[in-house]
Structure 1
Amino acid sequence: MRILYIDVDSLRPDHLGCYGYHRETSPNIDEIAADGRRFTNVYASDAPCLPSRTAFYTGRFGIHTGVINHGGLNADPRRHGPARGERYPRRFRTLATILGEQGLDTAMISPFPARHDAWQVVEGFDELYDTGGNGSERADEVYPYAHDWLNEHAAEDDWYLHANFWDPHTEYTTPLEYGHPFADDPAPDWPTEDVIECHYQGTGAQSAQDLCSWGDKRDAPRMPPDVASREDFETMVDGYDVGVHYMDHHVGKLFDLLRDAGVFEDTLVVVSADHGENLGELNVYGDHQTADEPTCNVPLIVRGPGIEPGVDDEFRYQLDLPPTLVDLIGGDVPEGWDGRSFTGSVTGGETDDRSGRERLVLSQGTWTCQRAVRWDDWLLIKTYHDAFKSDLEDLMLFDLAHDPHETTNLADEHPDVVRDGLSTLQQWVDDRLLEAARGERGGNPGAENAVTDPMWQVLRGKGPYYTWDALEDYAEHLRRTGRDEHATALLERHG
């Protein structure tokens, strides 16, 4: 089998045409979605980049690998301890390793492993091509690597190519000569001027006033220095959407290469993302800092031989995809993976009740420290570290069917729902740590701190990576910009 996995950093589903977006941002991806299977409720179990891709390629939750941060102890997987032999036990092998054991040649085109020293992500790959921009490269800089690889290998049997695009990631570096494809298309209606005005008085990195980290100003043609008005927001969301369109244009060129080689119909094409992107939700503009819907919900489109077209609305983790791919090539899924194959859905159009998840638990430990529970129309978020954000409360409950942008916290109005969600969260943590203690599922009893919740390790250490050593300088920045009350409250909470 030939598999082309297109991994688009910071791509939220609702900015793709095939997911109902009013702008034509993704004609090439929409085309394969029309002939393939589109999944609406797939979530990164652990966000953002390093935790997400670690979970995907190891098939294991961050609570089992220990990777939930971008720095410190919890940016590396737990060591396997005295039980480690010359090679890791098969139950801890990565997706690429398993694909290789099944006879597939594997290649990755991405700067990500070097950007985050993510050795666990590249384990098992035969070839790795670093596109050299540390995540700032445009699609026209990524495409030549994929072009050359496919020109040489597309017609061969049994390969897996991971191609990583970054164009929807800030700072939206699509060349200015590409123009503005959406000049005549209105921007999304939300956030309104009133919401932006409120957000502008709030705090946190990538909040409306502090759009660049802890108070710096961006100097990027397709991004405003801050979001003080609807006009600023429209500039920003246009930059994001043009980035999606530019990426899609080059993805279409990859499809053309497969057609030219005569293998497009015989290639399994998968389009997904490491995480989504907040575009104003919870006062985060153009970043992925929370365990909420915009950050954790990712697109998933699968198209190719044997795939039943249609839509799947079941709740699924993104780490359920690796065992599905292994199933599709006739391999055996390692018993140590947390993922649950949904092969029955992609091949037969039938949802296997055992493959769907009734509830999902989502994690963030890199900007904020949060865990969330997603079920029915509800999203419950528990915040352990707020990353100096005034808009985050300790407990937040949102009805996503009526409030998709998470504007109204219903926790006080629905105490029974909150208790239900907190009970789910506690049971999930207990079950995962018990698996670690017993060596079941993704658990690894031989590793040091194997039954320690990594969330507590992050909190006991220096905290989420991007808040390290930022408190005092940011409090002073808040005072300089007329937000003294926030500076005082911030120091009281964290000082």
Structure 2
Amino acid sequence: MAKPKNILFIMFDQLRWDYLSCYGHPHLKTPNIDRIAARGVRFDHAHIQSPLCGPSRMSTYTGRYVHSHGASWNQVPLKVGERTMGDHLRDLGIGCWLVGKTHMAADAEGMRRLGLEPDSVIGARVAECGFDIWERDDGMRPEGPDGMYDPGGALKYNDYLRDKGYDSDNPWHDYANSGVDDDGNVLSGWFLANSDSPANIREEDSETPYLTRRGIEFIKAQGDQPWCCHLSYIKPHWPYIVPDPYAGMYGPEHFLPPVRGDAERETDHAVFKGFQDAPVGKAFARDDIRNKVLSAYMGLIKQCDDQMGVLFDWLEETGRMDDTMIVITSDHGDFLGDHWLGEKTFFHDASVKVPMIIYDPSAEADATRGTTTDALVECIDLAPTFVDFVGGDATKLDHVLEGHSLLPFLRGGPAPARDYTICEYDYSATPLAARLELHPDQSRMFMVADHDWKMIHFESGHRPMLFDLKNDPDELNDLGGSAKHADVIAQMYHKLAAWARRPAARTTMANDTFVKYRTDAPRTGVLIGVADAASAVGETAAKYVGRKADKKRETSKPA
């Protein structure tokens, strides 16, 4: 077998880890994703770095924490100088291409200042998070009184739909993400009450099959050259609506019961309570709404898995399964009513814990096939893993990449030396920050978690929240106000403080350069604190000893 050379990096959007059968869902069968888990390693404690699409993805793509790259919320640009996995892989001779979503906002001001034109090769890569673009589709073409949320969203997909006979100024909304009643009225997928309506589109024309075909078309076009393809699916992210035959495939008898308790509802924590009281939290507190959404959500996941079957069968038939690493993960989860919350913008496992499955076709990985691990891993670990997989050395980039390569572990070595994980959320732009009268600097929170405890710190000055993960794995009992747990809280703050002190700013010179300077600094004639020539080390003073010059020191006497 030829040495593996390609990377297929599959990311779903808003996919919960516990809604896959390989992670234990009792009713939602996902045999195609499961078959990759059977060939690779399933990580049971993989955490994102922010519970929101944009910042989470920017961390995954850069291999850096949000605190480092600064793109802390959706539409916050990634700084023009930040390197991404595409930049690192291209340095190693590997093309890095996007098919699907990034949710990346370009640093237009930084590009203007540096004279980078968006239509140049370099400018386009900077504007697209380091990827070359096969097709970008963020799956978002909503429109309101102020115009489009994303003027470039779903443009090619909308053209495809019109070519297929879906007549509308926005078929993404009117057909792919809405139902229709007997009178032809559009039942918008934006209204959760319509989630149990079948999307008014032929299944093969909906977003997930469309992106699968685009991914296959990309791989076909690559020939024998090595590649990394970020196949980034839009679903099962909202709007929660799915076409037949997946609509109505699942009912309440298939749903996981909501994980929530009365004590949570009665919390005295103003920030946590504020997220519960947001419109999405109140909507998912209604069982009728939750049931409609879950029916669609599970159908969307089943459609995703069926499309993985199409993709993986094709990879098998063409021999690509033998030379391609496959990674399956998500940018975050979805509360779906757990903890009286909707969406993803808090730190319970429903949101911050994601599926992560890695298949390495190399013979060196045979010993770990079909295994699972409870090692603490983060999504920032993927970028250094890819660097190592294609023949680079991620340790030489440890001043830039803050994650740990998982390749040694995949091939029978030790797990990354990590005893806690970090997640961050900046809610400065939310109505909750306004209601609490918080300055943007105060509207930030941090999670630090290990196998035993999870603590949430609030820059607003509110008390921390604490969960005993061993005795309360559902995270229902907040111990942050318990005097008996003051020592545990102090220990978790110690870990958070250690993380905050990490080196993250110096990215232009590698650590090994500084280590080399300790014993092998450039001999350029700078001597500091050398008493005399005899004290000079080696040849450092060679240019200063034994030299001759004319004596020119006489000066005329003053008149």
TM-score by length of 2: 0.65
**Residue number in structure 2 paired with 1:289:** 345
The alignment partner of 1:69 has SS state of coil
Q: In structure 1, how many angstroms separate the alpha carbons of the residues matched to 2:101 and 2:49?
A: 22
The alignment partner of 1:331 has SS state of coil
**Residue number in structure 2 paired with 1:169:** 237
1:409 aligned onto 2:484: no
CA deviations 1:318-342 (Å, max 9, x no partner) are 1112111111111132242112112
| Cα distance change of structure 1 residues 104 and 185 upon mapping to structure 2, 3 Å threshold | farther
1:365 aligned onto 2:366: no
**Residue number in structure 1 paired with 2:153:** none
Q: Following TM superposition, by how much is the alpha carbon of 1:184 offset from its aligned partner in structure 2, in angstroms?
A: 7.6
Q: In structure 1, how many angstroms separate the alpha carbons of the residues matched to 2:126 and 2:473?
A: 35
Q: Is the 8 A contact 1:361 1:374 kept in 2?
A: yes
Out of 197, 204, 208, the position equivalent to 1:139 is 208
Q: In structure 1, how many angstroms separate the alpha carbons of the residues matched to 2:403 and 2:138?
A: 31
Q: Following TM superposition, by how much is the alpha carbon of 1:117 offset from its aligned partner in structure 2, in angstroms?
A: 4.0
Out of 454, 458, 468, the position equivalent to 1:383 is 458
Question: One-letter code of the match for 1:103?
Answer: G
**Residue number in structure 1 paired with 2:372:** 311
TM-score by length of 1: 0.73
1:256 aligned onto 2:325: no
Out of 291, 299, 302, the position equivalent to 1:245 is 302
Q: In structure 2, how many angstroms separate the alpha carbons of the residues matched to 1:127 and 1:356?
A: 35
Question: One-letter code of the match for 1:300?
Answer: M
CA deviations 1:51-98 (Å, max 9, x no partner) are 111112212111111222225xxx234465xxxxxxxxxxx5321122
Q: Following TM superposition, by how much is the alpha carbon of 1:6 offset from its aligned partner in structure 2, in angstroms?
A: 0.6
1:30 aligned onto 2:34: yes
| Cα distance change of structure 1 residues 79 and 263 upon mapping to structure 2, 3 Å threshold | closer
1:180 aligned onto 2:180: no
| Cα distance change of structure 1 residues 191 and 58 upon mapping to structure 2, 3 Å threshold | closer
The alignment partner of 1:380 has SS state of strand
Q: In structure 2, how many angstroms separate the alpha carbons of the residues matched to 1:314 and 1:141?
A: 35
Out of 227, 232, 248, the position equivalent to 2:284 is 227
Q: Is the 8 A contact 2:419 2:450 kept in 1?
A: yes
Q: Is the 8 A contact 1:44 1:297 kept in 2?
A: yes
Question: One-letter code of the match for 2:499?
Answer: W
Q: Is the 8 A contact 2:249 2:295 kept in 1?
A: no
1:44 aligned onto 2:112: no
Q: In structure 1, how many angstroms separate the alpha carbons of the residues matched to 2:325 and 2:278?
A: 43
Q: In structure 2, how many angstroms separate the alpha carbons of the residues matched to 1:55 and 1:300?
A: 15
Q: In structure 2, how many angstroms separate the alpha carbons of the residues matched to 1:25 and 1:95?
A: 32
Q: Is the 8 A contact 2:55 2:71 kept in 1?
A: yes
Q: Following TM superposition, by how much is the alpha carbon of 1:123 offset from its aligned partner in structure 2, in angstroms?
A: 4.2
CA deviations 1:186-222 (Å, max 9, x no partner) are 31123469689879xx9656x478228xx8xxxxxxx
Q: In structure 1, how many angstroms separate the alpha carbons of the residues matched to 2:393 and 2:494?
A: 34
Q: In structure 2, how many angstroms separate the alpha carbons of the residues matched to 1:56 and 1:70?
A: 14
Out of 125, 128, 134, the position equivalent to 1:122 is 128
CA deviations 1:162-202 (Å, max 9, x no partner) are 11112221222211442333338431123469689879xx9
The alignment partner of 1:160 has SS state of strand
Question: One-letter code of the match for 2:331?
Answer: D
Q: In structure 1, how many angstroms separate the alpha carbons of the residues matched to 2:126 and 2:464?
A: 33
Q: Is the 8 A contact 1:56 1:322 kept in 2?
A: yes
Runs of 5+ consecutive residues of structure 2 not aligned to the other structure:
108-124, 142-176, 178-205, 431-442, 512-559
Q: Is the 8 A contact 2:466 2:489 kept in 1?
A: yes
| Cα distance change of structure 1 residues 210 and 93 upon mapping to structure 2, 3 Å threshold | closer
Q: In structure 2, how many angstroms separate the alpha carbons of the residues matched to 1:158 and 1:313?
A: 32
Q: Is the 8 A contact 1:106 1:160 kept in 2?
A: yes
Out of 406, 410, 425, the position equivalent to 1:342 is 406
Question: One-letter code of the match for 2:486?
Answer: P
Out of 432, 449, 452, the position equivalent to 1:374 is 449
Q: In structure 1, how many angstroms separate the alpha carbons of the residues matched to 2:336 and 2:70?
A: 29
Which of the pair has more CA radius of gyration?
2
1:62 aligned onto 2:119: no
1:299 aligned onto 2:360: no
| Cα distance change of structure 1 residues 385 and 239 upon mapping to structure 2, 3 Å threshold | farther
Q: Is the 8 A contact 1:319 1:338 kept in 2?
A: yes
Q: Is the 8 A contact 2:387 2:393 kept in 1?
A: yes
| Cα distance change of structure 1 residues 128 and 45 upon mapping to structure 2, 3 Å threshold | same
**Residue number in structure 1 paired with 2:390:** 329
Q: Is the 8 A contact 1:47 1:68 kept in 2?
A: no
CA deviations 1:398-439 (Å, max 9, x no partner) are 12233333221112141111111122212321334xx43797
The alignment partner of 1:46 has SS state of coil
| Cα distance change of structure 1 residues 193 and 132 upon mapping to structure 2, 3 Å threshold | closer
Q: Following TM superposition, by how much is the alpha carbon of 1:9 offset from its aligned partner in structure 2, in angstroms?
A: 0.8
Q: Following TM superposition, by how much is the alpha carbon of 1:313 offset from its aligned partner in structure 2, in angstroms?
A: 1.3
Q: In structure 1, how many angstroms separate the alpha carbons of the residues matched to 2:233 and 2:507?
A: 39
Q: In structure 2, how many angstroms separate the alpha carbons of the residues matched to 1:431 and 1:183?
A: 48
| Cα distance change of structure 1 residues 186 and 47 upon mapping to structure 2, 3 Å threshold | closer
Q: In structure 2, how many angstroms separate the alpha carbons of the residues matched to 1:305 and 1:101?
A: 23
1:8 aligned onto 2:12: yes
Q: Is the 8 A contact 2:78 2:106 kept in 1?
A: no
Give the stretch that moved more between structures: 419-428 or 190-199.
190-199
Q: Is the 8 A contact 2:423 2:446 kept in 1?
A: yes
Q: In structure 2, how many angstroms separate the alpha carbons of the residues matched to 1:414 and 1:56?
A: 33
Q: In structure 2, how many angstroms separate the alpha carbons of the residues matched to 1:121 and 1:321?
A: 21
Q: Following TM superposition, by how much is the alpha carbon of 1:358 offset from its aligned partner in structure 2, in angstroms?
A: 0.6
Runs of 5+ consecutive residues of structure 1 not aligned to the other structure:
81-91, 216-225, 387-392, 443-495
Q: Is the 8 A contact 2:209 2:307 kept in 1?
A: yes
CA RMSD of aligned residues (A): 3.1
Q: In structure 2, how many angstroms separate the alpha carbons of the residues matched to 1:245 and 1:274?
A: 18
The alignment partner of 2:231 has SS state of strand
Q: Following TM superposition, by how much is the alpha carbon of 1:32 offset from its aligned partner in structure 2, in angstroms?
A: 0.9
Q: Is the 8 A contact 2:285 2:340 kept in 1?
A: no
Give the share of equivalent positions with the same residue, in percent. 25
Question: One-letter code of the match for 2:72?
Answer: I
The alignment partner of 1:431 has SS state of coil
Q: Following TM superposition, by how much is the alpha carbon of 1:120 offset from its aligned partner in structure 2, in angstroms?
A: 5.4
Question: One-letter code of the match for 2:376?
Answer: F
Question: One-letter code of the match for 1:51?
Answer: P
Q: Is the 8 A contact 2:95 2:227 kept in 1?
A: yes
Q: Is the 8 A contact 1:265 1:304 kept in 2?
A: no
**Residue number in structure 2 paired with 1:106:** 96
Aligned positions, number: 400
| Cα distance change of structure 1 residues 184 and 61 upon mapping to structure 2, 3 Å threshold | closer
| Cα distance change of structure 1 residues 385 and 188 upon mapping to structure 2, 3 Å threshold | farther
**Residue number in structure 1 paired with 2:173:** none
The alignment partner of 1:272 has SS state of strand
Q: In structure 2, how many angstroms separate the alpha carbons of the residues matched to 1:414 and 1:239?
A: 41
